[in-house]
A and B are shown apart, each in its own frame.
Chain A
Amino acid sequence: MTDQDQQLPGVVTGLVAIVRRDLLLVWKRPGDVLNPLFFFAMVATLFPLAVGPSGEQLQFIGPGVLWVAALLATLLSLNSLFLSDYEDGSLEQMLVSSVPLSALALGKSAAHWLANGLPLVIVSPLIAVTYQMSFFAIVVLMVTLLLGTISLSLLGSIGAALTVGLHRGTALLSLLVLPLAMPVLIFGARTVSLVAAGDGIAGGLYFLGAYAVMILSIGPFATAAALRISNE
């Protein structure tokens, strides 16, 4: 029991372990993931039915509707991100573990994105077809959603960590996350719209990429700090 022969688990080991655990939990309880996905599909497919079959109109509103639905679906899934860990005491075990908390926070965000963000990206082309979007527009939509949902998962983790100790923090969580998510929504939806207009899209994609990288570099630390405060 000396410090010399102590094998410390590495940052990557801890990160992989928590991603693995969270995905395993999703696998055993798929409802938590399917609900937001179903919400996204429902909202997005109801619009064409309500607005009417005019192709021009659908192409015009398509990017905005899809992006709003994706944003709301992500918000819906964020509330439960840390809740069960908080309630069953596994969050406490993470706080006192040998793995840096920011690595575990990054793992939680990554698992959230794999379970919630990625399915949205995969499903989006099917729904985009109902808006009569061009092939190129659909590809751009997928890329913007890919970059955007990464930002949203990381951003949402901070909000979820801050509100986990509060009862019914859902409204507060949305209030905290939405202002910071606005740039993602605006650039995401506008970039897809620009395709239809025939304008350049590089600027929008660059912005979304830069935003994702920025949040990737500060999000896990902010989430870790918020978790410490919430668990007191």
Chain B
Amino acid sequence: MSAQLTADALTLFRGDRCLFKGLSFALNSGELLLLRGSNGSGKTSLLRAIAGLLELESGTVYWNEVAVRKEPQIFQNSLVWMSHQPGFKGDLTLIENLHYEASLRPQSNQELDEVLNRLGLNRLKRLPMRSLSAGQRRRVALARMLLADAELWIMDEPVSNLDSEGRVLAMELVGEHLAADGMVIMAAHQDVDIDATVQTIQLQ
């Protein structure tokens, strides 16, 4: 099933400053939307606004031609959000965190152990999250995305803190998700080398 995310004339102010005005785009299954811009240009705000975490000044986001504001739950069933903060509990172990997360959203049929193996997290399973490095936590956040059955991935600088191997892996996973008819919206500073339709939005 192909899905579509459309944004119509999005405008957002932070204080007095206009971050973007009249921003529109249409994203189809298998496409990547890349947000570019210097620090503080509003990439994260745009991602948060699309995810519904931030109220827009004006404009509408449509998911399969239904306004997200009207049916937020349907949209949220199809999205995973990877923010700067991983959103895991430091006192709980990696596996406890992921078990809890599994109850929050529909799950894909990927095996937990396989996903952890692939991300190199298998031997960290029983460690409390706080003892993991920032890069390792990023990998766990990637595991969350793989385990979720969501068409739309919204990622805020997914490769920050990752080592070079991790960056390659993250891009590989994004590529696979796109190949499986998924959609990705990503804020990134680096160039991405992905074999898919890539749209770019440059924020001032």
Residues from chain A with a CB closer than 8 A to the CB of B31 are none
Q: Is the CB of A89 within 8 A of B181?
A: no
**Closest A residue, CB atoms, query B86:** A89
Give the interface segment out of A3-11, A59-67, A142-150, A204-212.
A3-11
Of the candidates A2, A17, A28, which one forms a contact with B1 in the assembled complex, judged by CB atoms under 8 Å apart? A2
Known: A14-B103, A93-B101. 11 other contacts (CB 8 A): A2-B1, A9-B102, A13-B103, A14-B104, A17-B100, A20-B100, A29-B91, A89-B83, A91-B87, A96-B51, A98-B106
Say which residue of B73, B85, B103, B151 sits within 8 Å of A92 (CB atoms).
B85
Interface-facing stretch out of B74-82, B113-121, B162-170, B196-204: B74-82
* Secondary structure dominating the interface of B: loop
- How many residues in B have their beta carbons less than 8 Å from beta carbons of A? 37
Say if the beta carbon of B23 comes within 8 Å of chain A: no
Pick the 10 closest A-B CB pairs, nearest first: A89-B85, A17-B103, A89-B87, A97-B104, A93-B87, A90-B87, A28-B91, A98-B105, A21-B100, A98-B77
A13–B149 alpha-carbon span in the complex (Å) = 17
Is A199 interfacial (CB 8 A cutoff)? no
In the assembly, what is the distance between CA of A94 and CA of B81, in Å? 10
Give Cα A36 to B91, complex, Å: 20
Q: Chain A interface (Cβ within 8 Å of chain B)?
A: 1-3, 6-9, 13-14, 16-18, 20-21, 24-25, 28-29, 84, 87-100, 231-232
Contact A8:B83 (CB < 8 A) given known A3-B1, A95-B53, A98-B76: no
Min CB distance A2 to B, Å, is 5
Residues in B whose Cβ lies below 8 Å from that of A91: 87
| Chain A residues closer than 8 Å to B55, beta-carbon distance | 232
| B89 with A88: CB separation less than 8 A | yes
Cβ contacts B141-168/A at 8 Å (1 or 0 each): 0000000010100000000000000000
Question: Are B81 and A93 in touch, CB under 8 angstroms?
Answer: yes
Contact B105 A97 (CB under 8 A): yes
Residues of chain B contacted by A14 (CB below 8 angstroms): 103-104
CB distance from A3 to the nearest CB of B (A): 7
Q: How far is the CB of B152 from chain A (nearest CB, A)?
A: 11
Q: Are B103 and A9 in contact, with the CB atoms below 8 A?
A: yes
Q: Which of A17, A29, A84 contacts B104 (CB 8 A)?
A: A17
Interface code B125-152, partner A: CB below 8 Å = 1, 0 otherwise?
0000000000000000000000001010
Docked-complex contact B103 and A8, CB < 8 angstroms: no
Within the complex, what minimum Cβ distance (angstroms) separates B80 from chain A? 8
* Closest partner residue, chain B, to A96 (CB atom): B81
Q: How far is the CB of B38 from chain A (nearest CB, A)?
A: 23
CB pair A232 B54 closer than 8 Å: yes
